[in-house]
Amino acid sequence: MADVTEEVPYQSLYRRFRPSTFAEVKGQDHVVLALRNAVRDGRVAHAYLFSGPRGTGKTSTARILAKALNCTDLRDGEPCGVCASCIEITRGTSLDVHELDAASNNGVDAMRDLVSRAALGSPGRQKVYIVDEVHMLSTAASNALLKTLEEPPAHVIFVLATTDPQKVLPTIRSRTQHFEFRLLGPDTLSELLSQVRQDAHLDVGDEALDLAVRRGRGSARDALSILDQVAASDAVDDDLPELDEVVEALAERDVQRALVAVANLTAAGFSPQQLTVDLVDHLRQGFLALVAPDLVTVSGAERDALAAQAGRVGLAALVRAMEDLGRAQVTMRDAPEPRVNLEVALVRLVHPEADDSPAALLARIERLESSGPPVHGPGEATAPVAGPPPAASSTGAALAARAAAVPTGRPTPAEPVPEEPAVSEEAPAAPGPTGARPTLGALRRRSAPADLQVAGASPTATPSAPVAPEVPAPATAVTAGADVVPATAAPVAHPSEVAAPSVPADSAPFPSRDELVQAWGDHVIGRLRPKAKALFQAGRFVSAEGGRAQFGLPNDIHRNRCEAMRPEVEAALAEQFGRPIPLVLVVDGAPVAHVEPTGDEDAPAPARPAAPPAPDPEDEEDLAVFEADDLQVAEIDNSAEARLLQAFPGAEEVV
């Protein structure tokens, strides 16, 4: 009769090499030491809570504790593993150990059944209840467990295991001793896999162990499963061969290379979400290789290659890449095409100019700082370095400097002309009494625009010669050949307001009343001295006939005061219109004197009145003490028509 050999079914590596003693538990020395001493000294608590990531040995340690509590040949807190109780617990047939999966038995009925059987005796010394994934229990089931968990029978020990201790009720955590299990380090995990390869007689190389360590990510069960898969396939097949290509593309700022790598991976069947997760983890390992090498989960030559690659990318770029890819991973959840989110994130990482976030702007600034000053080609011009403008010595020098500031060779009518600092060459005022306050006129002269101060320069200043531009530019804001205003002239207009050179008196037509009103409000009144402006702003143009303009004022007293300032106003009007504008001051509301035309419209206009002298400090002081009470204001008509005419200066009532 032939011998029949019973075939033993194959067991996975993580089941065959599950630790059976405290000494075989790797990477959890803080937990093993406390439990072994408690068993040896007889100070075992009635309830324990084991928490930590998957594959770190929580359930295996709970079974080892159950063996130690019921072992008949205990040796320094370690179970013997050969007695009947240890063998039955290893096989899972012991009546002293009850395991409950709270993920599938999370109702209150299952917990009530467990509590009702807790008081029953068992063959061994201690009955151990192992409740896995205890955070999945419902609130009612957790409350049903509370009383028994706090005061169980003397022979009952509870061991609760969970991967998320924050979801466990605080009332349960407070009734247990909490031990936290940690992920295994790369060296510890590599040592464990090497021992398993030797004991299981696996014909795999070191690259297979490195792959299992990297993809295991600190979990002993995951690493053993990957090693089992590699041994079964007899080949090391890295699922993500193109991740290095993506990272190298980030280092070289080659967007085409990055997108091609993503296209190859998606064509091979990898989802964009998983690619993003694995890419973030790869970048994180490189980041740790630069700042904290002891935390890297890979070892050997792979760690060195990872550190070199991370150095090429740069620390700041690694951090920004992890942040951007993390945000892309979140947006992929609701995106109709997740691959687009990944590609857009990679483009922004390779080209920071396509991103307007503060991190991208900072990356661009760092690139500019590291590249140094820009090198200009033979056809490129460098921008001039701005410096302090030269001090002007006269009115002509100031105007020449303004003309030089305008680029020649092309018209620039709308180009703003920079303002030069005000240069005052006035003789110092006579010293006043000690402690005297400056007058209003002096304060206004200090804060006057540069144009007014240049126009009021000392009469001894010598105007500079006109400078002709290289290429004539019609209608420029300021021309180099413009006439220089004498020092005794009225305040000059700002260069931006001068549209063309002055027109001869015999060719400029006499303006109409509407033109006078518009020019008066837009340009002329703003150029007057403060005293003249204060007096004339209460009047309006009444008519413009026969080569003269009639200007109406409120009353005779006001008109008499304005008569002294009339030459200055006429000079300002003549400068504005390019011809003399004789001004007749009348009382507003009085009959308007009709001026007969001369009949010779082509006759030369009257001579241009002499320009008033430069502002006198005494006049300014006069204005400082000028009070409105000195004027005798006529009775004001409060009718609607009068208020409407007052609101719109220059308007006429048409009957």
HSE-CB at 195 with a 13 A cutoff on CA atoms is: 14
Q: Exposure of 364 by Cβ count < 10 A (0-12 exposed, 13-18 middle, 19+ buried)?
A: middle
Q: Backbone phi, then psi, for 410, in 5-degree steps?
A: -155, 145
State the CATH architecture for 183-238. Orthogonal Bundle (1.10)
Between 369 and 354, name the one with better pLDDT.
Answer: 369
Provide the pairing of β-strand 177-180 with 127-132.
unpaired
Rg of the chain over Cα atoms, rounded to whole angstroms, equals 49
Lowest pLDDT segment from 80-89, 274-283, 326-335, 396-405: 396-405
- Locate CATH 1.10.8 in the chain: 183-238
* Cβ contact 635:596 at 8 Å: no
Measured CA to CA, the distance from residue 260 to residue 569 in angstroms comes to 78
What class, spelled out in words, does domain 240-369 have in CATH? mainly alpha
Q: Residue 233: what pLDDT?
A: 80
pLDDT digits (tens, 9 = 90+) for 422-476: 444 444 444 444 444 554 444 455 555 444 444 444 433 343 444 444 444 444 3
| pLDDT at residue 404 is higher than 60 | no
In CATH, 13-182 is 3.40.50.720: no
What is the average pLDDT value for the chain, to the nearest integer?
A: 74
Which among 105-119, 166-180, 237-251 has the top mean pLDDT?
A: 166-180
Give 524's DSSP letter. Answer: I
Helix (H, G, I), strand (E, B) or coil at 444: helix
pTM surpassing 0.75?
no
Burial code of 465-504, b = ≥16 C-beta within 10 A, e = fewer? eeeebeeebeebbbbbebebbebebbbbbbbeebeeeeee
pLDDT at 127 over 50: yes
Three-class DSSP category at 548: strand
With contact defined as beta carbons under 8 Å apart, do 492 and 457 qualify? no
Q: Is the dihedral of CA 375, 378, 380, 381 positive or negative?
A: positive
Query: Does the pLDDT of residue 398 top 80, yes or no?
Result: no
Residue of higher predicted confidence among 179 and 614: 179
Q: What is the pLDDT of residues 583-592, one digit of tens each?
A: 898 987 765 5
What is the C-alpha separation between 490 and 476, in angstroms, rounded?
23
- Please give the span between the terminal C-alpha atoms of the chain, in angstroms, as a whole number: 142
pLDDT score, position 624: 43
Residues of the chain with CATH 3.40.50.300: 13-182
34: pLDDT confidence band, cut at 50, 70 and 90?
A: very high
Could you tell me the fold of the domain covering 496-592+638-650? GMP Synthetase; Chain A, domain 3 (3.30.300)
- Check: CB of residue 574 under 8 Å from CB of residue 566: no
Q: Is the pLDDT of residue 177 over 90?
A: yes
Q: Smallest Cα–Cα separation from 65: which of 79, 51, 49?
A: 79
